[in-house]
Chain A
Amino acid sequence: QVQLQESGPGLVQPSQTLSLTCSVSGDAITSDGKYWTWIRQRPGQGLEWIAYISNSGSTYFNLSLKSRVTISQDTSKNQFSLKLSSLTAADTAVYYCAREAAGVSALDFWGQGVLVTVSS
């Protein structure tokens, strides 16, 4: 069974950079046709797709966040990471990592999510 687990700070100061890591088990992040994705959900709001990194390392970003987002992978640890810079209170959200599989064209496995609060 594929499992994803987010980790990172629960509280970050405004203007700082958020760093989150997603640890994956049950699948290799380098396996074909996989897109390792970050999604967020502001309090009481819907889902917002942020970015993905593919099994080959190619990246894709939500255009509205692209200037502030970096996504990377560590194949030795089977992890992928998100960095979001220039934080404001509007970035307060639950951040989820998820897998998109080409074979189902959908986000088929999700992490439990991590709440990140941007506040001084």
Chain B
Amino acid sequence: QSVLTQPPSVSAAPGQKVTISCSGTSSNIGINYVSWYQQLPGTAPKLLIYENNKRPSGIPDRFSGSKSGTSATLDITGLQAGDEAHYYCGTWDSSLSYAFGIGTKVTV
């Protein structure tokens, strides 16, 4: 069980757009930055978005993040087969632990 709620799965055709939501509370998303991580099958997670909407070097602009109140969103546009992965949101919680969402599986 996680304090951050994500849909278990989303899917779309190649070239389309998917949106992944991450719902939290005033104890976590409401007061802290949100990050997003991509985990391709059999690999370690990789940072995709930090501080709600910033991309590390090398991350294409097809990936974008936003935050409003106690929720955050990851958008993936121009969906590609290589985007099939699990996506996790993460943020600090006032319980003094870093919290991850349960993860969303993206199917192309």
Binding site for B on A (CB under 8 A): 37, 46-49, 60, 62-64, 96, 100, 104-113
Q: Is the interface of A mostly helix, strand, loop or mixed?
A: strand
In the complex the two chains form, is B45's CB within 8 Å of A96's CB? yes
Q: Known A48-B100, A49-B98, A63-B96; judge A106-B44 contact (CB<8 A).
A: no
Binding site for A on B (CB under 8 A): 2, 32-33, 35, 37, 43-47, 50-51, 54, 56, 88, 90, 95-103
In the complex the two chains form, is A106's CB within 8 Å of B35's CB? yes
In the complex the two chains form, is B56's CB within 8 Å of A105's CB? no
CA of A100 to CA of B44 in the docked complex: distance in angstroms? 15
Tally of contacts, chain A with chain B, CB under 8 A: 60
Q: Can you name 30 A-B residue pairings with CB atoms under 8 Å?
A: A46-B2, A46-B88, A46-B100, A46-B101, A46-B102, A46-B103, A47-B37, A47-B45, A47-B88, A49-B97, A63-B95, A64-B97, A96-B44, A104-B47, A104-B54, A104-B56, A105-B33, A105-B35, A106-B35, A106-B51, A106-B90, A107-B35, A107-B90, A108-B47, A108-B50, A108-B56, A110-B44, A110-B45, A111-B44, A112-B43
